[in-house]
Structure formats: structure tokens, C-alpha cells
Amino acid sequence: MNSVLKNTDDFNLEAAFRDSHVADVLDQLESELVGLAPVKTRIRDICALLLVDTLRKQAGLSTEALSLHMSFTGNPGTGKTTVALRMAEILHRLGYVRKGHMVAVTRDDLVGQYIGHTAPKTKEVLKRAMGGVLFIDEAYYLYRPENERDYGQEAIEILLQEMENHRDDLVVILAGYEDRMDRFFRSNPGMSSRIAHHIAFPDYTAVELLAIADLMLDQMQYSLSADARTALEEYIERRQTLPHFANARSIRNALDRARLRQASRLFNKRDASLARNDLMTIEAADIRASRVFAETPPPGRQGELQP
């Protein structure tokens, strides 16, 4: 089944792990995602299961076909898409899918607007995903029982059939908010029974969010002044308490706005010469100009606050 894991008399697990080059993907996952210790541990556990299963087959031991379909639950910006992408690479390197690519979709990519439209849309997506991972974000929107003319159930039935028929060449990962995914699975027991791995993605702590900001800034070749770092710490604490907070996604939005304010600040002093450090440094004013630091809006308008 796996070309990189060769038969060996002693069935050495360390050699199998080394030959698979999965360690490279795990290291990449560790470096690009701050925190998420429970998630990373679960991914390593799945890797261990697949490696041992491969060696059991080489040893002529009885093995059952593994179900690798998964559910990723958590709030926005907690790394679900990134982990799904790395999971596709891991499955490919261990020989459980042919290509190792990921196709990310939402309800609109699967469900049609009229009779006869859903089946071809869903099957086309499945065709593109074969040999890799199909990542369905906000999967609970597939099921809308309140609308009798909704075609989401048709898409679900096609998915269920293909998940069973092509379990050796397609892994489906369903993602979304935990409470909504729980309701979705209760309403669709056939889907629930096919999901072998449920992985919960926790929200980031304030310390982790600051580390994520540092990582993003380093990648963009920006830096924070000492006062700006203090301002960003205060921003994170305030932003976490506001509606529509999206973890790392909100941090990226905040930094994009800070870069915009920095550029405007520098442009307003365009007659002055700029040092390289000026072009790189974000100051406290670039952070504190955020509406998060403004006076709390009138009741009923809190949701209008922006990063």
C-alpha cells in the first residue's frame, strides 16, 4: 500500500517513520501554528496509528480498513484549515491518499439552487478532491430542515455514499463551530457514524495571540516598538471580549490596519528622509487608533466595533 515503507524483518517503527518523511510535515505544523497542543498531539496520534497499521499489514496481521474522515470544531481563526492542509500531506506521505492535495469548499460549492443542480455540483467537487482531502467549512449549513425546498440533504446523501465507497482514496474533514456541528451530527446520524476522529480546536490565549502577531510581523518584515507592543497587548485583551472575535484572523486584520495607519503616518511626513527602521516599525499610535480603543458605543451597537 505504501511505497516508502519497505518490508523489513524486524518491522522497525523508527525506520518507518523516518522513511515516510512525515516528521517534516509535523515540524512545519509546529513552526507555523502557535499553541494548539491538544490538536498537535492528536495529529501525532493519528500518524502513529497509520504507521503501526502499515507495519501490521507488512507483518501479515489482521487489520481493518481505517476510517479517516474527521471533524474539526472550534471558533474561527484557530488553525483548522491549516491543520487540514497538513493532514492531507501526512496522509499522502503515509500512502493513504494518492495525491495529498486539499479541496476547501462551503455549502455554496455543493448545493444547487434548483432540481437537478446539486448532484452534478457535488460530484464535480468530489471528483476534484479524489486522492486527497475534501475540507467542508461550516458543514452544518448543508442541513437546513426548516426549508422544505432545500437541496442540502441531497448533497449529504451523495457525500455519505462517496465517503463509504472511496474511503481508501478520499478523506472528508467537516469543520465549524462546536455546538452547531453537534446539532448537525445529531440530525445526520449517517454522517456521524462515518467520522472517526473528532478534534476540538481551542481558542488562543492572549499570550499565544501576541506570539502569533510576532510571527506574522516577522514574516512581513515589520516590528513593534516597545510602546506598540504594550498597546497591542492591551488591544488583544479588549478585542477578545468583543463580538465576532476570530482569534488569529482578528490579529491579522488588526496588523493589516496598523500597517495602513503606519503608511499614512509616514506619508504625512513625506518631506522627511526615512530610515529602513522607519519603514519597518509600527508605533503605538498605529495600534491605538483602532476603534477597539475608542469609547464603548451606545447599547446595541457593540457588534459594529472593528479590529
Q: Tell me the average pLDDT across 219-241.
A: 96
Beta bridge partners of 81: none
Fold agreement (13-201, 206-304): no
pLDDT for residue 305 is more than 80? no
pTM over 0.95: no
pLDDT for residue 302 is more than 60? no
Q: Tell me the average pLDDT across 26-45.
A: 94
What is the reported pLDDT for 9? Answer: 58
Mean pLDDT estimate for the chain: 89
Q: Tell me the average pLDDT across 300-307.
A: 44
Question: What's the CATH fold of domain 206-304?
Answer: Helicase, Ruva Protein; domain 3 (1.10.8)
What is the reported pLDDT for 59? Answer: 84
Beta bridge partners of 73: 176, 200
| pLDDT, tens digit (0-9, with 9 covering 90-100), for 57-90 | 888 887 777 889 999 999 999 999 999 999 999 9
CATH class of 13-201: alpha beta
Kindly report the number of other CB atoms within 10 A of residue 304's CB atom: 11
Residue with cell 523516518: 18
pLDDT for residue 168 is more than 60? yes
Cα(283)–Cα(289) distance, integer angstroms: 11
Which cell is 110 given?
455543493
Q: Tell me the average pLDDT across 53-59.
A: 86
Q: Tell me the average pLDDT across 283-304.
A: 69
The domain ranges of the chain are 13-201, 206-304
pLDDT for residue 3 is more than 50? no
Residue 11 DSSP one-character state: -
pLDDT for residue 303 is more than 70? no
What is the reported pLDDT for 16? Answer: 83
What is the reported pLDDT for 298? Answer: 44
What is the reported pLDDT for 138? Answer: 96
What is the reported pLDDT for 214? Answer: 96
Q: Tell me the average pLDDT across 254-260.
A: 97
| pLDDT, tens digit (0-9, with 9 covering 90-100), for 123-133 | 999 999 999 99
Cα(179)–Cα(200) distance, integer angstroms: 11
Distances (CA, A) of 76 to 8, 72, 176, 177: 44, 11, 8, 8
What is the reported pLDDT for 307? Answer: 47
Residue 66 DSSP one-character state: P
More confident residue, 284 or 290: 284
Query: By the 8 A CB rule, do 20 and 93 touch?
Result: yes
